[in-house]
Structure 1
Amino acid sequence: MQSQHHDWVSPPGLDPEEAAERLLRDLDTGPEGLSSSEAERRLLQYGLNELRRRTGPQWPKALIRQLTHPLALLLWLAAGLLVIVGSHVVATAVVLIIMLNAAFSFVQELQAERAVEALAKYLPQKAKVERDGAVSEVDASHIVPGDIVVLEEGDRVAADIRLLAGAVEVDMSALTGESVPALRSAAMVDVNVPLLAAHDLVFSGTNCTGGHARGLAFATGMGTEIGRIAALSERVKSEPSPLERQVRRAAWLIAAVSVMLGLSFIPVATLVAHLTLINSLIFAAGLLAGMVPEGLLPVITLALAVAVRDLAGRGALVKRLSAVETLGSTDVICTDKTGTLTQNRMTPVAVWTTAGQIDLDPERSDTLGGAPQWPSPVGSLGRIAADCNNARLDDAAGATGDPTEVAVLTAARILGAETDSATREANRRWQFHFDPELKLMSTIDRSEDGSPVVHTKGAPEALLTRCSHILDADGQPLPLDSLERRQVDGAVDDLAAQGLRVLGFAQRQLPAKKRPPHRRASAEQDLCFVGLIAMLDPPRPGVIEAVAKCQTAGIRIIVITGDHPLTAAATAERIGITGPHPKVVAAEDFEQLEDRQLATLIRSCPEIIFARASPEAKLHIAEALRHDGHVVAMTGDGVNDAPALRRADIGVAMGLSGTDVAREAATMVLTDDDFGSIVTAIEAGRRIYDNVRKFIVYIFAHAVPEVVPFLLFALSGGVIPMPLTIMQILAFDVGSETFPALSLSREPAEPGIMQRAPRPRDEGVIRLPMLLRAWIFLGLMVAGLAAAGYFWVLLRAGWRPGTSIDVGSPLHHAYRQATTMTLLGMITGQIGTAFAVRTQRTSLWSVGVFSNRYLLAGIAAELALAAVFVYLPVFQSLLGTEAPAPSDLLILLPFPFIVWGADELRRYLLRRWSKRHPRGDVRPLVGDLRP
């Protein structure tokens, strides 16, 4: 929200020394500082001068949360049943699975936000204070309220300090986002202004870039301004991502169904199948273990980690794994303009004076024909632009300084002015740094005749209010009447409407023998307006294509900038974000909006721009969008952007121009500050979400072949021996299943991924068509193939219903081979499933059967692990496996092709059906027409 304007002058009747004496008295200290003993006492009273979290360590809660996840609770129940029936080895294996899942997820929890710790990096390690009558260097964390602190060039301010003597230049960018140093002096006392605007105060976390001063520390630690921001950021709690919510919801669903099935089959097994209670409990535990997709959570975690690594190579560092899928559901991007949509490389393109507009050639930085050829006001404009400037064009490394000042100095050189920095410094007598609230910068320089002259530049609307005259086409000052003001305003609007950034320039001749004013209000008055310089900040390469891709993908872009409303609107139209008539909300209008009005305005105006916006405005906009159910990505670079970055679903910080605090508060950091990287990350988020669904289908498809053996055992009353053991199920779920599932996360995006609208925030990651495809179609097919292999081995060995297969019986060896055949049948069917789920609608031939080399490697690893399970004695003993005959293994060869081929046929029929019935809701086969 907009701050009040103020002057650098002590208000009438307010003596700076008297104000300082009152503060010294209130803090019970003196000009010579504290004694060492008093400092130690206050350190106990106020605590260390450091930023800290309000709460204790969070890791115990995170660990407990993982151990009590719905899927974990289900496995705990299975382990408990196994302990009751005396299967301690299997129960131990189930507990190890719980611990493995918890470990994966717990590591993810430890990658929590560290915005407060990043803020602490702004505090220096050492500071100079006056204690016991002498200046000494102490640990910065030991500064207390009442200390007298000495500040010098190069020091980092360690506390909030009221200056008592001297003046310093301070880099306030950590708090205000302004990179130009601000002058802070003990002689400049303000009243009724925002705290950060007071010119006698310096703040913790800022840097002293020049000067020398002594000041009184009045706030330390969390009581400082930077501590207040830290507390504000901490109060904005991060919420679970859509994927985290959906997986937890699905986990509760699985748990409920599993418990219901387990409890319902216990009486069926005892009363109908006439099993003993012990066998019924074993059956229930096996059913629970079979229904739980143990590999789901670790596979999702590892897949997201792969996506994070891929995005890092594309200029987007994602700090939280679950944020990858949040990117995929993003439907609104709130973006800055300068440096994100544009290059932040200002180029002067035009100047305007009362003599008319002159277009500049941005490719030439030399004098265009010499200064005498220009009208008189143009020459004056060039001199002001050169003198009221801190950039350099003549450094060995090239142009240095703020991009805007470099552009202004380049314009001055084109206009024939002297731009040598040494000459400029020799003629400068005083400087009033750029004030972001006044939007002005002034210098007092020595003119050619030796008399002092005030040179001022700044926002035209701010500059005109301080002008009483205007330079005419002959170089003569004339009174600035309403007609002339309208002429200047019209020129500003015309240039801004072209997407140009416009600065105004003015001057005032001072008496030659009179001391120049050293107070800003006295200097910046009765100015003579000279002219305007317009600069172009060109769009980033590729940003137009990125914006077009967002629009095709149904993603809304809202520009939030500090620029002039017309400049922002013209840039947004040039890039393609809006049409010619967007709704532009300036700062003064934004301040009048209540939260509900803001939400209504955003909802009713599809093309909206917020100009002259503050960081607080960003926070309100993010909250309004989220309240309407949008998934929001928000860009920012300053410390005061941290709350908005944390409030958005995806906070995006600038890696090149952003502060450490913004980078730590954000979810994603752009290493190149490029808007296109956000779009790349969104596309990657959609791809990984699709891939998550693919391996969810892959994992769920094997719940049926895991449960069917127990149903055969129970419903036959134990006549059919258990075709699969619980240990084999666990080996299948956690071992062989994991490698192909992980490789599915590396699937490339299917065609058209950025031509569909973002999925709703509340859309489940698991949908009914997916479950039907997994359980009814693929699951039953694999279960039938595995059961066929089981009965083939058992019947060929001479087994008949009721024949004993217990240890020591003639058929026990064949029984172990048969259960191994079931396991291998599930694994080979699993290979076919892996190929089948690679595409959701298109044929696998269209994307390449062998295009995913990771899947080929995963299948090879799965087969190698299956060989270990079958042929290694230690696993034979642990899992109850036995190597089948080579002729039996040949039966397994067609299993993958049967599963894959059947699903290829299903997808082919679905494609034909969708072509014939593009608007039909009836699907002839199990499947989902949407990706």
Structure 2
Amino acid sequence: MKNSEAIKLNNAAKPAVADLMKTLGTDSTGLTEDQAGQRLEKYGPNTIQTAKQRSEILIFIENFTSLMAILLWVSGIVAMIAGMPELGIAIWAVNVINGCFSYWQQHAAQKATDSLKKMLPSYVKVTRGAKIKQIRVEELVPGDLFKIQAGDSIPADARVFKCSSLQVDESSLTGESLPVEKTDEYKQGDGEFAQQNIVFAGTTVTSGTADGIAFATGMKTEFGRIAKLAQGQKQTVYPLERELNHLTRQLTIIALLIGIAFFLLAIFFVHYPIAKSFIFALGMIVAFIPEGLLPTVTLSLAQGTQRMAKRHALLKNLSSVETLGQTTVVCSDKTGTLTQNQMTINHLWLAAKDYDVTGTGYFTNGQIQVDDRPVELTQEPDLSQLLRIATLNNDTEVDEGTGEEKAKILGTSTEASLVILSRKAGIDVKTENRTYPRLKELPFDSNRKLMSTITKNQTGQVIIDTKGALSSELLICDRILDNGIVRPLTDADKQHIMAVNEKYAKQGLRSLAFSYREVDQDDPLIHVSLDNFQIGNAETHMIFVGLAIMSDPPRPEIFDAVKKCRRARIRIIMVTGDSPITAKSIAVRIGITSDKASVITGDQLDNMSDDALRQAVKGEVIFARVAPEHKFRIVSMCQKNGEIVASTGDGVNDAPALKRADIGIAMGVTGTDVAKDAADMILTDDNFASIVSAIEEGRTVYSNLQKFLLYILNSNMPEAAPSVVFLLTRGLVPLPLTVMQILTVDLGTDLLPALGLGIEKSEPGIMNQPPRPQDSHLLNKSIIWKAFGLYGLIASIISTGAYFFVNHENGWPNISLASSGVGYAEATTMTLAAIVFCQIAAAMNCRTQISSVFSVGLFSNRRIWLGIGVEIGLIALLMYVPFLQTVFNTGPLNIIEWGFLFCIPVPLFLLEEGRKWLLRRYSTRHSNDPS
């Protein structure tokens, strides 16, 4: 916490209530309506303001101004100037469709997550002019006196001046899973937000009631301050966006250089007029600019987001899909992310026996498993006594729900774990409370750290039951229950009990101690009226029963998820507001770190330089008791080390780090709306394992991007080769392929098979590979070699040969090659069709990088085969529809020419299968892991 914020809170926490009221301009009768109205005008409504939204028009326009989009706009203009309006319109249409699709996807995702203001309650009870009234929470102002009770969300930062058994869940701010006790007395605890008489906006009352004085509302609250930190972060530029811009620059430079070279050659070598040379050069530029790349990438990413949504991950930005695949570090909160945010009893320690109750089948129909055999609870008197106390000394209730509503626990997580324990043991809580009606309660307070209830059994005997901290219990106990027998509690017993408790504490577990006392005829309290049962005379001479050991357990699926992250060379750094002991225990238990990992607290972090922190995050480290600014700084230092950082979280305290990270991941069920608003991805099941699935999907998306990039570029060489032939023959051989035909391949026949490649499943072993280096590029040497040097060259020879094949059928070389007319149209159509049929083989070959296509299923990707069918159908339409023949300069082919075309794909496919087989053999010989 910044010093100014700490001063603000202490200024509200330390003064006497009367002095604070005077400072805030109020008194015990509350504000008047006029005062409240003036303050509402001065301070504004009590709401969390979202970052100023950009104009929808600007957002819409941004989808049409990427580097590739600008290049396509310019290409369309050039085509118009060159007298080819059909070409220009076609290029612009691609841009418009792609931009509209991108905008729609962004708008839908933003609409699904734009619910920030729902965290605060709708109404609050305030004292205005000595009268209690209910107002909308937006109308609450500094100086207002308001009331809260169990289940309420706290509407403002406030000083507590009256309370009863008040406990507050502050996990949305601190990450601490246990409720925090609040009183009307000032006491500074450990860590942030630790003033005991201060409650914070956005947190929840788990038990008790209180009256408070609001001293900060809206964006002036701690909740608002942290939300503002998140809003102040710059918009992330995703690695894929940078990579696509880099790729666009590469392809643009290549296309322009080739276009300029061909323009000059056409003028000086072929002696073409400048206008004709320009159109000729434009054709070459069009050939080397993959106009279909942008819509293909967009649609492929959209398909990836849809697949991830089915795996419980909602992405707000298409480009963030691939970022997941590049992730090297996950900075993860503990509570609710790695753990279940639900306290669970796992051991019951009694003088005579230690029960491990972690197994789901431990309790069965009022029986327990002891030494692998069922035993009636009545035969375990110590355990029965502890369960009775845990059931009766408890203010938490179970709402069974109605209809489709699920049962809910109403109360603290600690008491909820005891209720669940009782239910597992077959105890009917309501029946038990009727059997032992409660006569009085001595509420929990932080000084004695105990809670006692006074009940009466069926014979009328009064019983005092107590639960609380072990140190406090041992002070009031002088006897112990040992295998059904009450005997004196010796110093040796106390030392043994404390040693047991310390053993569990070192494992990051928490304990709760239980004791009881029966008011017999010889008990001094027998002559005291119930009203006079007080702490001093009731909580004494107690019989110690045992300990309930509990923890916030890891999610069951987290263990396998962590193992997958390790195999994928992805480090997990726990960043939590919980205690160092608990944090390390959980981290070691689930395999995030070894026992040698260092633990750095928020206080230590404050004294660390950036250089020291950068070194620390390179090794095994856990961060505990951290503040929002700490999480932000940790993510920043990881990024300065060159890491691609994913940061997970569910609380408002996580929002700045979520915004700063390369990809922020919020919990959808337990997450605050502030966290969801700041995140790039939302887990709809709050399951950390879904992150691993998302990372695998991200890697697959990148791999598929490379696959269809190879597929698209594969046609560039055969598109350019006819023009090379034209140049080398100084125009004696007419252009075997027109510009509109080139566009047919780029925007027509290539599109659907490319989309089919975008839904290919990941190849085996993709999660056993390290994240790809940040300096790697989509267009790498392997793709360049295969696209231009191997299969591009082969396709060039085949397509150019197809052109001469048709001319040969028409009498060449005995007659001159036609530059127009039916024969010329038929020849260029054959060139175009040959390129398409080469691409049919390329579509199958690009499905895998090393594995055989037969191993993933020749017909498993139906989208590929649908695309191939559409390719053939489109070519047929261009050949036989008169209007299209005119636009694209095409003509019909005969049966022999169709036979030639259908012979093309098979040898190309088998050739690539042979190359992959050789690669697998080489990999097997030089690696212990063939995958």
For the aligned pair, the TM-score class normalised by the smaller chain equals: 0.7 to 0.9
Q: How far has the Cα of 1:671 moved from its partner?
A: 3.5
Partner of 2:84: 87
Partner of 1:926: none
Partner of 2:372: none
For residues 96-175 of structure 1, what are the structure 2 equivalents within 5 Å?
96-110=93-107, 117-125=114-122, 140-145=137-142, 158-161=155-158, 172=170, 174-175=172-173
Deviations 1:132-175 (A, max 9, x none): 88777665545555666676777655544556778787665544
Q: How far apart, in 1, do the equivalents of 2:397 and 2:749 lie? A: 64
Partner of 1:776: 789
Q: How far has the Cα of 1:473 moved from its partner?
A: 4.6
CA spacing shift, 1:115–1:501, aligned 2, 3 Å: farther
Alignment of 1:701 with 2:700, yes or no, is no
Deviations 1:853-875 (A, max 9, x none): 22112211222232333333333
TM, length-normalised to structure 2: 0.81
Residue of structure 2 aligned with 1:237, choices 218, 228, 234: 234
Check conservation: 1:838, 1:844, Cα contact below 8 A. Answer: yes
Matched residue SS, 1:603: coil
Q: How far has the Cα of 1:529 moved from its partner?
A: 8.7
For residues 333-348 of structure 1, what are the structure 2 equivalents within 5 Å?
333-336=330-333, 340-341=337-338, 348=345
Alignment of 1:790 with 2:803, yes or no, is yes
Amino acid corresponding to residue 415 of structure 2 in structure 1: E
Partner of 1:547: 562
Deviations 1:217-238 (A, max 9, x none): 5444322332222211112334
Amino acid corresponding to residue 712 of structure 1 in structure 2: V
| Bigger Cα displacement from structure 2, 106-115 vs 753-762 | 106-115
Partner of 1:924: none
Check conservation: 1:9, 1:190, Cα contact below 8 A. Answer: no
Matched residue SS, 1:67: coil
Q: How far apart, in 2, do the equivalents of 1:348 and 1:144 lie? A: 42
Deviations 1:22-54 (A, max 9, x none): 2116xxx99453446x76665554444433344
Residue of structure 2 aligned with 1:280, choices 277, 280, 287: 277
Matched residue SS, 1:679: helix
Partner of 1:390: 395
For residues 678-757 of structure 1, what are the structure 2 equivalents within 5 Å?
678-757=691-770
Alignment of 1:443 with 2:448, yes or no, is no
Matched residue SS, 1:604: coil
Residue of structure 2 aligned with 1:50, choices 44, 47, 50: 47
Partner of 2:371: none
Q: How far apart, in 1, do the equivalents of 2:209 and 2:194 lie? A: 20
Alignment of 1:836 with 2:845, yes or no, is yes
Check conservation: 2:174, 2:577, Cα contact below 8 A. Answer: no
Partner of 2:325: 328
Partner of 2:16: 15
CA spacing shift, 1:357–1:796, aligned 2, 3 Å: same
Q: How far apart, in 2, do the equivalents of 1:379 and 1:242 lie? A: 60
Alignment of 1:408 with 2:422, yes or no, is no
Q: How far apart, in 2, do the equivalents of 1:564 and 1:910 lie? A: 52
Check conservation: 2:455, 2:462, Cα contact below 8 A. Answer: yes
Deviations 1:47-97 (A, max 9, x none): 444333443415455445443322233333333333333333432332223
Amino acid corresponding to residue 260 of structure 1 in structure 2: L
Check conservation: 2:29, 2:131, Cα contact below 8 A. Answer: no
Q: How far apart, in 1, do the equivalents of 2:201 and 2:589 lie? A: 41
Q: How far apart, in 2, do the equivalents of 1:227 and 1:524 lie? A: 43
Check conservation: 1:62, 1:109, Cα contact below 8 A. Answer: no
TM, length-normalised to structure 1: 0.81
Matched residue SS, 2:682: strand
Partner of 2:678: 665
| Bigger Cα displacement from structure 2, 119-128 vs 296-305 | 119-128
Matched residue SS, 1:532: strand
Deviations 1:98-128 (A, max 9, x none): 3333334444554676899433122445566
Q: How far apart, in 2, do the equivalents of 1:347 and 1:127 lie? A: 33
Q: How far has the Cα of 1:735 moved from its partner?
A: 1.8
Residue of structure 1 aligned with 2:254, choices 253, 257, 274: 257
Partner of 2:646: 633
Residue of structure 1 aligned with 2:219, choices 218, 222, 246: 222
Check conservation: 1:720, 1:802, Cα contact below 8 A. Answer: no
CA spacing shift, 1:280–1:578, aligned 2, 3 Å: same
CA spacing shift, 1:902–1:417, aligned 2, 3 Å: closer
CA spacing shift, 1:9–1:205, aligned 2, 3 Å: closer
Q: How far apart, in 2, do the equivalents of 1:769 and 1:105 lie? A: 30
Check conservation: 1:116, 1:234, Cα contact below 8 A. Answer: no
Q: How far has the Cα of 1:595 moved from its partner?
A: 3.9
Q: How far apart, in 2, do the equivalents of 1:595 and 1:507 lie? A: 54
Check conservation: 1:2, 1:587, Cα contact below 8 A. Answer: no
Q: How far has the Cα of 1:417 moved from its partner?
A: 11
Q: How far has the Cα of 1:812 moved from its partner?
A: 1.4
CA spacing shift, 1:213–1:115, aligned 2, 3 Å: farther
Q: How far has the Cα of 1:333 moved from its partner?
A: 3.5
Partner of 1:359: 355
| Bigger Cα displacement from structure 2, 833-842 vs 312-321 | 312-321
Partner of 1:494: 503
| Bigger Cα displacement from structure 2, 126-135 vs 266-275 | 126-135
| Bigger Cα displacement from structure 2, 673-682 vs 508-517 | 508-517
Matched residue SS, 1:233: helix
CA spacing shift, 1:673–1:81, aligned 2, 3 Å: closer
Residue of structure 1 aligned with 2:441, choices 429, 438, 454: 429
Check conservation: 2:825, 2:889, Cα contact below 8 A. Answer: yes
Q: How far has the Cα of 1:739 moved from its partner?
A: 0.5
| Bigger Cα displacement from structure 2, 558-567 vs 618-627 | 558-567
Partner of 1:922: none
Count of paired positions: 895
Check conservation: 2:291, 2:746, Cα contact below 8 A. Answer: yes
Q: How far apart, in 1, do the equivalents of 2:415 and 2:66 lie? A: 57
Q: How far apart, in 2, do the equivalents of 1:524 and 1:417 lie? A: 26
Check conservation: 2:106, 2:316, Cα contact below 8 A. Answer: no
Q: How far apart, in 2, do the equivalents of 1:282 and 1:906 lie? A: 39
Q: How far apart, in 2, do the equivalents of 1:299 and 1:263 lie? A: 28
Unmatched 5+ stretches in structure 2: 368-374
Q: How far apart, in 2, do the equivalents of 1:96 and 1:820 lie? A: 24
Q: How far has the Cα of 1:698 moved from its partner?
A: 0.6
Deviations 1:195-229 (A, max 9, x none): 95556655444556788877655444322332222
Amino acid corresponding to residue 894 of structure 1 in structure 2: C
Q: How far apart, in 2, do the equivalents of 1:88 and 1:321 lie? A: 32
| Bigger Cα displacement from structure 2, 737-746 vs 46-55 | 46-55
| Bigger Cα displacement from structure 2, 714-723 vs 471-480 | 471-480
CA spacing shift, 1:518–1:10, aligned 2, 3 Å: farther
Matched residue SS, 1:265: helix
| Bigger Cα displacement from structure 2, 213-222 vs 49-58 | 213-222
For residues 754-903 of structure 1, what are the structure 2 equivalents within 5 Å?
754-798=767-811, 811-903=820-912
Amino acid corresponding to residue 19 of structure 2 in structure 1: E
Q: How far has the Cα of 1:705 moved from its partner?
A: 2.0
Q: How far apart, in 2, do the equivalents of 1:860 and 1:490 lie? A: 75
Among all aligned residue pairs of Structure 1 and Structure 2, give the percentage whose two residues are the same amino acid: 35
Matched residue SS, 2:253: helix
Deviations 1:300-335 (A, max 9, x none): 221222222222323333333223222222233344
Residue of structure 2 aligned with 1:596, choices 587, 611, 623: 611
| Bigger Cα displacement from structure 2, 337-346 vs 685-694 | 337-346
Amino acid corresponding to residue 88 of structure 2 in structure 1: A
Q: How far has the Cα of 1:620 moved from its partner?
A: 3.9
